[in-house]
Amino acid sequence: MKMETNKIAKLLQTYFNGESSVEEERALENYFRSGNVASEFQEYAAFFNGISELANVSGDQNIEEEIMDFILENENREKTRYRWLWQTVTGIAASVIIILGGFLFYQQQQKPFEDTFKNPDEAYAYAEQTMQFISEKYAKGLTGLSNFEKLQKVNQPIQKATAPVIEFYNAIEKMENNPVQINPENPEENKKSTDSI
């Protein structure tokens, strides 16, 4: 009996790990259908008896196809419902926008264009006041740039100090790009080619 319980425990382990063969699954079904089930495996008896009953009742070979069709049909029905809802909401929103736009356009057409100022001197004074305001804000913004000129003055000695180093690196780069051809027969020509660099 102890040997059989160990064997059943191993079969259950492989079954629940998804590693059991068809023969092992049948052996488990037969064991639990026999009614001679050890007390530690009683909790699995209902599970395996239920699977056996389903297998016997659903003798229909196309059960998987029917289930899949049912799932796809319900999924499609759900998508159709949401699509219909979306179309309805967007249609209502578009209608409201069109009606509101038409109403505003109609109101705009009913009112003749009115000038802001009746007196040209008032308009000139208001424009002058606006330009003064803009000018003050612009001048205030330019005061911050005065510090930039100070930074440039401070940077000039640094640029003067680094100028020889930059010239040296430029000369090296120029030499790498234009290698000097040395002619052992004519040393004067060699001197002229190196002086040009």
CA angle at residue 23 from 58 to 13, to 5 degrees? Answer: 95
pLDDT value of position 189: 61
Task: Find out whether 197 and 171 touch, Cβ atoms under 8 Å.
Answer: yes
pTM over 0.85? The answer is no
Q: Residue 99: pLDDT above 90?
A: yes
Q: What is the mean pLDDT of the chain?
A: 78
Closest of 69, 71, 35 to residue 52, by C-alpha:
35
Q: For 138-150, what is each residue's pLDDT tens digit? A: 887 767 666 667 7
pLDDT value of position 129: 93
pLDDT value of position 97: 94
Q: Residue 17: pLDDT above 60?
A: yes
Closest of 75, 95, 97 to residue 87, by C-alpha:
95
